[in-house]
Structure 1
Amino acid sequence: MSGYGDRETSDTTTSGNYSEEGKKFREFLNSLPRANRMKDVEDYVTTSTFRTFSNRWNFTPEQDEKLPAQVSQPNRLNLPVSYTMSDISVKDFMRDAADLACRAIAQDKLGHHDVAVYFYRESISLLNRTRSELHRLQQEADEQHASVINERILSIETRTQEYQKRINDLEIISKRKLEEEIENSKKSGDELELERAKFLVSQALEEDESGNDDEAVKLYTEAVQLCLEAVRCKLRFKRDGKIDANMARQIESLAKQALDRAEVIKGVRGASISGNSNNASQTPEFSRMQASSGIDDDEDGSVSSIDPKKALVVSGKGGYTEDEKRVLLSTSRVNGVDYLPFMQVDLQEKFAFQLPFSDRNGLLALSPKQQKNFARWARPSEIWSNPRMFERIDCFSIKQTIVSDCSVVASLSISALYEKRFGKKLITPIIYPQNKSGVPVYNPCGKYLVKLNVNGVWRKVIIDDLLPVGKHGELLCSYSNNKGELWVSLLEKAYLKVMGGYDFPGSNSNIDLHALTGWIPERVSINGKESHSEFNKEKTFQKMHSRLHKGDVLITVATGEMTTQEEERTGLVSTHAYAVLDIQERLGVRLFLLKNPWSHVRWKGNYSELDVVHWTDEMKREFKYDPNSASMFDNGVFWIDYDSLIHFYDVIYMSWNPSLFSYTTCVHRTWDAGCGPVKDVYNIGENPQYRLEVKSQSSSAIWCVLSRHITELEDFKNNREYITLLVYDTDGKRVYYPHDPPPIIDGVRINSPHYLCKIILPSAVHKRYTLVVSQYEKMKTIHYTLRAYSSCPFSLQEIKNPYNPCYQMTLKSALNGHTMLVELRGPKIYDVGFDIMCSNVVDVKAPGFFTKKSSGPFRPGFVILECENLPSGVYNIIRQHSSQIVKGHLF
């Protein structure tokens, strides 16, 4: 063979014999009456075909020199999904098993061990299916033929054991090679100090140029200390012949320059340092703007790097109210860790340290599968000789391992493909530190900040670079096949830190992509069981096909529950997410290009690499696809037709680019469990309601996303809160009856953190709608964010309850000098407060007279107000309007 993957061979004799054997078998089979097929087929197979391959498979796993020098490529049979067990299945399985075994042996001989292992495993899978079918035939055969079949079964078991043993041997060889590579690539402690010194200097220069003198001096000083230590180390290396003196002089010069610059700053600017370093300390107000991860409109209508001048227009006030800030603060603590909103000042986060950074929150919890194979936590510099943040952004290099986060990896894959396909930044800008060009960089000091959209706003997540490593040096987290590339592992670690650790309960791509990109989540149920409308096959395809190629949407699909037999038959994985890489419609055929996050295990049905029926020469040319080449190695990428997709998959997850809209705003609120009835069967008058006013000059659309804040892993794992949005055409007035008038959009209550409601305006209109937040059962208090996107100007305002409870107290004495103490109590999880207003008093000149007095700032669960020297009269006690207040007894 001429090289890896080359299928040409000079062993034409064996190949020809096999082809003739197959032809003879089919002629023989067609000549048999149906009643005689079972017996005669088994006689033929066991005496001819299997024996032919048994002779060709004469291979001792422990001795590579016994591998055949050349291996022919027998003809393969297509195994469509609808294939059923029959008399011919034994012969077909054995023939394909032989085909795969030949490939395994050939790749084994060439030293392509990973490829060989794949083919050995596939051959074993088919041999096991052959054995199962032979067991069935054995039960139906007479005693004589049952004995012959049993011999064949034993022979298959022997062959299977040999292949499995060879797989084990090759895995050991591969792991040893990996361990050797890791050991050889490790850097010494002195080299790591040198890297950190260079990074300190680069960070000091950036702070210096930004005018942050205090921080610059500090970093210069730390850099000098590390540089001097590195110089001493390099001089030692020089004696060992490892590093030349020229490099040592460069580092010494770098230290001198850093020291000189620090002295200049101290001497020239002196006491003004502190005054000149306040640029980064000015924290802007929170904004209702869709905080971007680096996306916005470009001139061609696609998505590009963020340009503040082209940001979405915020409807209403830009700043948040005190109530909203309390909501965002209360949901900052997720799984016991605080994740504060990301603000401009966080761009000045310190990333350079003399010692490697370790996360103060500790190591992430490992999953049971990780614990079984875990050996140690390692930094990138201990795994690769040249770690870097990016080698190249490529969806095909991303690989999931034993962490059950397929949707996260699928989300990373389609985000990477988006950046590569459109040349626009989407997911990479959320990683810090970054260089002057805004490109994330490797930090030898080990600290990173990742910006994630969690619980209503973008929040900062601090992580270190410690990664879980297995007993044979393999990474136990998702990673990039590009050696030393870090971004995949770091983004996964940051996201899973928020989610409680690597022991991840699973998610979906709507949730993941919303956190990673801020794009608008839409869930489309294919089977229609969870949707208020039937699945529109044609409309959905046209929308996905058109929008995907414009860069307007990211798509994943997910399977439902499948039996082991269905998984084996189809090649699909139960309850598993797949990235949609491409959608094509050519020659009247609609195909989807999908990627399994595992980077192996592919679809076996129509238009798979096994399908020799549908992949005609014309189709191959049109799609530039060669099934034979694709079958040489399984990377988890496959074509599947649209009909098969909607048959075997349950859900389509689409995430839409916010730049499709021109206007946006949001509100953050709390809905108390005790407010209103438990169920919205008869009364929705006390549900949170909002007035949406739209002024459209032409056809337009308003999308509203209701997002429930989640702060505990158990809540995320077993989400029992079913939320939705109802839309009424009631001129923006409060609605009390759920079906009078009937809603124009009656949302289905789902237990997902995000619910999307689309309001389509076919023509120019000026209307006021009422949006009602609804739950299936109000069992617990929830915090939520309601964000609206619109292609036309609009306003979104909370509909206040005009009938706020008012308690009246009358002091009837003719004398002044009354004393009154008012207490308001409630569960401590709620912030409470009230106002007292003088309504009608006898003496306005009394020392204790006031028009209005407040209990002060909201307090958790308990607040009092003591008033002295009050004049006689009437006093109104009014509970303050706040979503934080629990309804109940006030005194």
Structure 2
Amino acid sequence: QHSSRLRQLEEDGRSLAKRAVEQDQAGSAGTASFFYTEAAQALLAAKEEGSQLPNLLATVRDYISRAEQLKAVSSTGAAQAKSQEQQQLDRARYLLSEALEDDESGQGADAIGKYVQAVEALLQLSKSAEPGLRQKCQDMAKQALERAEVLKKKSAAASAPPQLPSAPTDLPGDDVLAEPPPPPTSLTPQPRPTPPPAQQRPQPSRTEAYTKAEIAVLRATSRINGRNYLPFMASDAREQFAYPQPFTDSEGLLPLSAKQQRSLSRWARPDQLAPEPKMILLVSPMSITQTIVSDCSFVASMAVAAQYERRFKRQLVTNIIYPQNRRGEPVYNPCGKYMIKLHLNGVARKVIIDDQLPVARSGELIGAYSNNSAEFWVSFLEKAYMKVMGGYDFPGSNSNIDLHALTGWIPERIPIDEGNPVRFKKDKVFTKLQDRFHQGHCLITAATGPMSQADADRAGLVETHAYAVLDIRVAAGHRLLMLKNPWNHLSWNGNFSRRDTRNWTPELERLLNYDTKSARLYDNGVFWIDYDSLCRFFEVLYVSWSPDLFPHTSCLHDTWPAKEGPKKDRFCIADNPQYLLTVAAQRPCPVWVLLCRHIVDRRDFADNQEYIALVVYKDVSGRKIFYPSDPAPYKDGARVNSPLYLVQMVQESGTASYHLVVSQYEKNNTINYTIRVYCTEPFKLTKVPDPFVTEKSVSGEWKGASAGGCANHPDSYSRNPCYQVRLDNGYQDNQLLIELRGPRDYFTGFDLTQESGGQRFSSGSFRQGYSMLEKAQLPGGVYNIVPCTFKPGQEGPFILEVSASRPFTLSKVR
């Protein structure tokens, strides 16, 4: 496997260098610079794997030097945009390509519509085209029209249709078009390649359809920042992308911040910015650049995802861009319409965008871009995410949220707190991340916290800024990480930086295959930093884990109305949403549970005041949890104002049950959310059932003589209020839930007594503010409830609530 990867890296370096030279000789300075840089990175990676290619480091330095020279040249001249006539030709050709694909896959009705649109576009173009092109357009239109007529006859035939002639595959005009998409050569549908096993998604344990309540949740949270984003369906891959005129998003241009507005020159499409626009030339983290949009965490997320694709040869984010070719690769669409699949509010959703991008007066894009000006996947991914978030005037985020939206990977937040070794196990964290990173199990970014400008300048860092983690190594006793600033410039100035002459030794450079001479040629924002320095200057590590690690996963979508339960759940969690998770493990296994709160308004995102958590109770005998600390939680943590909350557990062999309780610090609003479980062993996830069909409540008070205290005071206890529950049925399996809510200053409780039979039950220990009793297998009859405070003379109001599995009456006795 190592030798195979080494050969691949060496071949990548040669191939990229060849393309660089070709573009250099053709006079394409910007593209050549891009490929020289990528060739240098590939060869450095090959060196890290032990490549013995002669003069490798000298060659790398030459490539980097040439890339910088060409970059300076390309920045002085504007790219030649395509002519309007060429743009029309591209759209017509794309329409024909889409029609042919529908034709060969048996989608006759769709094919007819696109053939007709192509005919109209070609005839319109032929009116103003020069004679040679006019004839080609007319020939193409004629063939498309003939094929549409054949399909119409087939559709209209009452009997089984005869075998149709093949769709045309030799459309003329290729010599005029700029690299037209190759037409299909057969009516037999070409299956897309099956991805390798490592790419297969885990199969959900859940097989049943969504409930009506879940559908209502997903529908309610489809509208985000005033726009609808429907769940992505398999059929959406056949979205119409071909149009005779440039597609324009009906929801308009995205809002810009005041700073961006001042910089704006125009909105432009790719064919107005580059002579030969492409979706992807080469997926690389080095080419991704952040500008004046405050989305460093999103750009860093794209960088680590691109690094994953480049390193492991597996699609991760490029496969969420549509339209795609038969290999599942995104393609440039001259008609200007794209669809991005993002994981939002519990499910994958489709985001439709057009290809108009904001351009600054400097000629650069205002949003993120690839260093290769002809490549646009970076800009389109960012535009889709910015559309969901309300515009390019984005308030900022973190990489857990961004990578979860891009990939659906499982987010873990690791606060760096060296002063708390219980909370932050420094050595264990590094060892785990180093091991899992190199296996492709996780993606990592790091973020700084607040710091003074003087400290930031001295360190070469940016405060509250996200950085992509591109490598983790141990060499010569040093624990080191390679980071990338999304700005593509401004690098770390401390230990093991490119300017550090004290720590870098020839031996260390050899072990890391790092050439300080090459690194000092220019600042591309990529740097090595030792783990101790990272822990000193950075605030948090964001780790996203591959769901492929878990063969079993399932989820539930739900809502928690604001009116249900107290504002604070310090004393009672009876009204908190609760779920039962049962895991049957034949071997020790990880059990991870992710709570995802749905957000539909950017103001909520920018100033999140909903502090949430997921509290776990293990192997509880009762139906549900009523008191937050009785029994003691198995897993509990700080309430956080992030929409994502992850609980990680390890279960030993055997069967265990977990009660999952959604909690909020202060509940002010209704929240919608998704709970998703990941496990390597089979499990079952259900909502805790509510067996009660009827509920009644009364208000009362302890006052004067009726504040009699508990049964320890027999002289006054009998003067407490008393209520009677009458179960008028002959069943022996009634269920009863009694809840008492009183002043939090007092310890309260109650007794339940059966009038005939003499059974007596107690709510147990007296508690502040809330006490309860749930009983099953009760025979029908009359039961008396006596609510009381622990001590006599403690006056105050109370609410008594009774729920039962069958109809009952509730009345006051005294």
The verdict on a shared fold, with TM-score over 0.5 as the criterion, is: yes
Residues of 1 paired with 2:124 and 2:308: CA distance? 44
1:567 positional shift = 0.7
1:472 positional shift = 2.8
Paired position in structure 1 for 2:125: 230
Residues of 2 paired with 1:214 and 1:880: CA distance? 58
Which sections of structure 2, spanning at least 5 residues, go unmatched?
1-63, 163-191, 698-727, 730-801, 806-814
Residues of 2 paired with 1:109 and 1:427: CA distance? 30
> Quick one: structure 1 residues 349 and 111, their matched pair in 2 at CA, closer, same or farther if it must change by over 3 Å?
closer
Residues of 2 paired with 1:273 and 1:620: CA distance? 76
1:701 positional shift = 1.1
Match of 1:217 among 98, 112, 121: 112
Residues of 1 paired with 2:636 and 2:68: CA distance? 61
Residues 677-692 of structure 1 mapped to structure 2, 5 A cutoff:
677-692=566-581
Deviates more, 1:222-231 or 1:453-462: 222-231
1:577 positional shift = 0.2
1:785 positional shift = 0.2
Residues 748-787 of structure 1 mapped to structure 2, 5 A cutoff:
748-761=638-651, 763-787=652-676
Contact 2:692 2:803 in 1 (8 A): no
Q: Residue by residue, what CA displacement relative to the aligned partner does 1:290-327 show, whole Å, maximum 9, x if unpaired?
A: xxxx999955xxx32x4xxxx42333443100000000
1:801 positional shift = 2.7
Q: Residue by residue, what CA displacement relative to the aligned partner does 1:609-667 show, whole Å, maximum 9, x if unpaired?
A: 11001101111111121223211111000000011011100000000000100111100
Match of 1:266 among 152, 160, 165: 152
Paired position in structure 1 for 2:59: none
1:635 matched to 2:499? The reply is no
Paired position in structure 1 for 2:103: 208
Residues of 1 paired with 2:665 and 2:278: CA distance? 48
> Quick one: structure 1 residues 358 and 879, their matched pair in 2 at CA, closer, same or farther if it must change by over 3 Å?
farther
Residues of 2 paired with 1:802 and 1:532: CA distance? 45
Paired position in structure 1 for 2:794: none
Residues of 2 paired with 1:541 and 1:722: CA distance? 29
Contact 1:386 1:484 in 2 (8 A): yes
Q: Residue by residue, what CA displacement relative to the aligned partner does 1:692-725 show, whole Å, maximum 9, x if unpaired?
A: 1110011101100000000000000000111111
> Quick one: structure 1 residues 534 and 275, their matched pair in 2 at CA, closer, same or farther if it must change by over 3 Å?
farther
Q: Which runs of 4+ in 1 moved over 3 A?
A: 107-115, 229-234, 247-253, 271-276, 294-299, 803-808, 878-881
1:411 positional shift = 0.4
Residues of 2 paired with 1:296 and 1:439: CA distance? 13
**TM-score normalised by length of structure 1:** 0.65
Residues 159-170 of structure 1 mapped to structure 2, 5 A cutoff:
none
**TM-score normalised by length of structure 2:** 0.72
> Quick one: structure 1 residues 274 and 485, their matched pair in 2 at CA, closer, same or farther if it must change by over 3 Å?
farther
Contact 1:731 1:767 in 2 (8 A): no
1:227 positional shift = 2.1
Paired position in structure 2 for 1:580: 469
1:421 matched to 2:326? The reply is no
Residues of 2 paired with 1:742 and 1:399: CA distance? 49
Residues of 2 paired with 1:295 and 1:590: CA distance? 40
1:275 positional shift = 13
Paired position in structure 1 for 2:426: 537
CA RMSD of aligned residues (A): 2.9
Q: Residue by residue, what CA displacement relative to the aligned partner does 1:580-631 show, whole Å, maximum 9, x if unpaired?
A: 0000111111110000000000000000011001101111111121223211
1:257 positional shift = 2.0
Residues of 2 paired with 1:471 and 1:297: CA distance? 43
Paired position in structure 2 for 1:511: 401
Residues of 2 paired with 1:108 and 1:781: CA distance? 58
Residues of 2 paired with 1:686 and 1:369: CA distance? 47
Paired position in structure 2 for 1:792: 681
Residues 60-459 of structure 1 mapped to structure 2, 5 A cutoff:
112=69, 177-178=76-77, 181-182=78-79, 185-235=80-130, 245=132, 250-270=136-156, 298-299=196-197, 303-304=198-199, 306=200, 311-459=201-349
1:669 matched to 2:555? The reply is no
Query: 2:389 is matched by which residue type in structure 1?
Result: M
Q: Residue by residue, what CA displacement relative to the aligned partner does 1:146-173 show, whole Å, maximum 9, x if unpaired?
A: xxxxxxxxxxxxxxxxxxxxxxxxxxx9
Paired residue secondary structure (1:590): strand
Paired residue secondary structure (1:535): coil
Paired residue secondary structure (2:130): helix
Query: 1:264 is matched by which residue type in structure 2?
Result: V
Residues of 2 paired with 1:698 and 1:111: CA distance? 55
> Quick one: structure 1 residues 738 and 358, their matched pair in 2 at CA, closer, same or farther if it must change by over 3 Å?
same
Contact 2:598 2:671 in 1 (8 A): yes
Paired residue secondary structure (1:685): coil
Larger radius of gyration: 1
1:722 matched to 2:611? The reply is yes
Paired position in structure 2 for 1:501: 391
Residues of 2 paired with 1:685 and 1:195: CA distance? 63
Q: Residue by residue, what CA displacement relative to the aligned partner does 1:717-753 show, whole Å, maximum 9, x if unpaired?
A: 0001111111112147301111111101112211101
Contact 1:341 1:458 in 2 (8 A): yes
Query: 1:209 is matched by which residue type in structure 2?
Result: E
Match of 2:511 among 622, 626, 633: 622
Residues 703-742 of structure 1 mapped to structure 2, 5 A cutoff:
703-729=592-618, 730-731=620-621, 733-742=623-632
Query: 1:517 is matched by which residue type in structure 2?
Result: T
Paired residue secondary structure (2:329): coil
Contact 1:366 1:502 in 2 (8 A): yes
Residues of 1 paired with 2:515 and 2:604: CA distance? 47
Query: 2:330 is matched by which residue type in structure 1?
Result: P
Contact 1:731 1:769 in 2 (8 A): no
1:685 positional shift = 1.0
Residues of 2 paired with 1:701 and 1:254: CA distance? 60
Which sections of structure 1, spanning at least 5 residues, go unmatched?
1-106, 116-172, 237-244, 277-293, 809-838, 841-877, 882-891
Paired residue secondary structure (2:565): coil
Q: Percent identity?
A: 49
